[in-house]
Amino acid sequence: MLDVDSIRKDFPFIKNGRIYFDSTATSLTPEPVLNKMLEYYREYRSNVGRGIYKISQLATEEYENARKKVAGLINAKPNELVFLRNSSEGLNLVANGIRLRRGDEIVTTIQEHHSNFIIWLRAKERLGSDVKVVSCNKSGSFNLEDFDKSVTKKTKIVSVTHVSNVLGALTPIKEIAKIAHEKGSLIMVDAAQSVPHMKIDVRDLGVDFLAFSGHKMCGPTGAGGLYIKETLLESVEPLCIGGGTIDDVGVDYYKIKKGPAKFEAGTPPIAEAIGLGEAANYLSQIGMGNISDHEHRLAKMMLDGLLQVRGVRVHGPLSLENKTGIFSFNISGIDSHDVAMALDASSNIMVRSGHHCALPLMKEVLNERAGSVRASVYLYNTEEEVNTFLNALEEISKTLS
C-alpha cells in the first residue's frame, strides 16, 4: 500500500490546496527527477557519445543508464528502447519507417488519440494505403471478431491504444497481437496511458512497437520512449538522420549505425532523457502494482460518486474490471468548459475539458460534439481529494443546471 503522504512531499506543485486531476494530459514531476536533471547541468554538462574527456564519458554513461532503467520498466532490452520526444514522435517514426505502399492495409480503432489516427489518414492520402477503423460500443469495448475480420493478409500494421485517453477502457492487446501476427501483420501500441499506471511487459503482450511519453509518467516534457522489437530494428527506417546516426560517410555514400542510435539524430534531450530514467526508477521503487492498486481504490470512489451526482453521464465502462482511473463525463445542460472552470474557481480542482484529441470517438460513438469533462487520478492523489471533487461537482450541478 502506498504511503501517499510521503509521496506527496516529492511533488512541490501540490500546495495551497491544489487538487490535480489532469495527469492523463501530463503528470506532475517529483523532486528526485528534478534533482537528477539538475545534477546533469551542474556536474557533467556535456554532449553524449562524442567526447573522449571524462565529463563527456560520464554524461554518456548516465544517458545510457537511463535507457536501461526505462527499458527495464517495460521488460525490454536496452538496445530495443529509442529515446524520442514523446509517444507522438514514436508513432510517427513507425508510420514513416515501415515502408508502407499503395494497397497496404492499416487497422486502427475509433478510440485513438489523434496522434495514432491522423498519421494513418496521411498514409492513405500520400501513399494510397487502405485504413480500416474498428469501432467500439459506448462502454469502450471491442468485439475481437471485428479485428479478426478486419486484419487480412494485406494488413501491414495494426496500431491501437492500450488505454483510451477518454474512456479509460483497456484494449485486449495480447489477443489483438495474436490475431495480427497470425495474419502476418505488425502490431504497434500507443501506451501513453498505460506505461505510467500499470506493469507493462512488452514480451508478454507480444507487440512489435510500443510508444509512450515521459511527461505522463512523472518525467520531464520532451523525452519519451519507443520500443522496437530487436528483430525489427534494421528493417525500420529512421525518421531523421544526421549527427550521431552515422557509422561512415563518403563523398557519395553514407552508412547508418545499428541499434537505437540509428533513430536518435543530433544532440538528444540529454537532461530530459536522464530525468526520464530517474522517473522510471522512481516508479519502479514505488512498485507499479502498488500504483495500480492505489489508483483502483480512488477510481472506485470516483466512479461510485459520479454515478450519484444529479445529471452526470459517465462515458465508458461503468465497472472497473477493464478500466483505469480516467473518467470522462458530462452534466446535462452544462458545457464541459463551464464545469472545468467552475471546479477550478470554486475548489482549485484542475480537470480537462473538450475533445481530448479524440474527435472521431467523441462524434461517432459518444455523440458529444461539444466534448466532455475528464478527471484522472494518479499516485499522488488522495481519497480526500476525490471527496472534495465529488462535493464540488454536486454543488455545480445544483447551481448551473
**Active site residue ranges:** 357
Q: State the pairing for strand pair 209-213/186-190.
A: parallel
Q: Is 17 left (phi over 0), alpha (psi -120 to 50) or beta?
A: left
- How many C-beta atoms lie closer than 10 Å to residue 126's C-beta? 11
Full 3-state SS string of 256-301: ECCCHHHHCCCCCCHHHHHHHHHHHHHHHHHCHHHHHHHHHHHHHH
Among candidate residues 284, 279, 287, the one with its CA nearest the CA of residue 216:
279
Q: Angle CA(305)–CA(306)–CA(312) in degrees, nearest 5?
A: 145
C-alpha torsion 144→147→149→150, nearest 10: 170
* Contact (Cβ atoms closer than 8 angstroms) between residue 173 and residue 205: yes
In 155-275, the DSSP E strands lie at: 155-161, 186-190, 209-213, 224-228, 246-249, 254-256
The x, y and z cell numbers of residue 31, run together, are 523532486
The x, y and z cell numbers of residue 99, run together, are 515502408
* Contact (Cβ atoms closer than 8 angstroms) between residue 376 and residue 24: yes
What distance in Å separates the CA atoms of residue 363 and residue 359, rounded to the nearest whole number?
6
Angle at which helices 31-43 and 54-73 cross, to 10°: 160
Length of the chain: 401
Distances (CA, A) of 29 to 35, 219, 294, 307, 319: 11, 6, 18, 31, 30
What distance in Å separates the CA atoms of residue 360 and residue 362, rounded to the nearest whole number?
6
